[in-house]
Amino acid sequence: MAKVLSRLKLKASLPNLRLHDRRHPFASFLVNDGRTLYAAQAILGHSSSKVTERYAHLSTKTLQEAANSASVRLTGGATKKAV
C-alpha cells in the first residue's frame, strides 16, 4: 500500500501529502453538509466525540444558515430568508 500511495503522490505532484492531514477538511465537509458529529465520528473512527469536535469545523455559512433557521422559527416565518 505504501508503494502505491507513494507513486500516486508523485504522479499528482503532491510528494509531501499525508492522508492524516486531510482528516480535518474531511470532517468539516461532513458536518457542513449536514452530517451529524456522530456520523463523522463513526466514519473517522474516533473513539470520542471530543476528538471529532476538534476535527470538524463549521463554516461561517453553515452557522449563518443555522441562525437564520432559528430566527425564522422564532418569528413564525415572518422574516425573509437571507440569500
Say what the pTM is. 0.68
- The three three-digit cell numbers of residue 43, written as one number: 466514519
- The three three-digit cell numbers of residue 73, written as one number: 422559527
Q: What is the mean pLDDT of residues 6-11?
A: 91
Give 54-66 pLDDT, tens digit per residue: 999 999 999 999 9
Q: Does 11 score more than 90 pLDDT?
A: yes
Give 21-62 pLDDT, tens digit per residue: 889 999 999 999 999 999 999 999 999 999 999 999 999 999
Residue type for position 61:
K
* CB-based contacts of 62, cutoff 8 Å, min separation 6: 31, 32
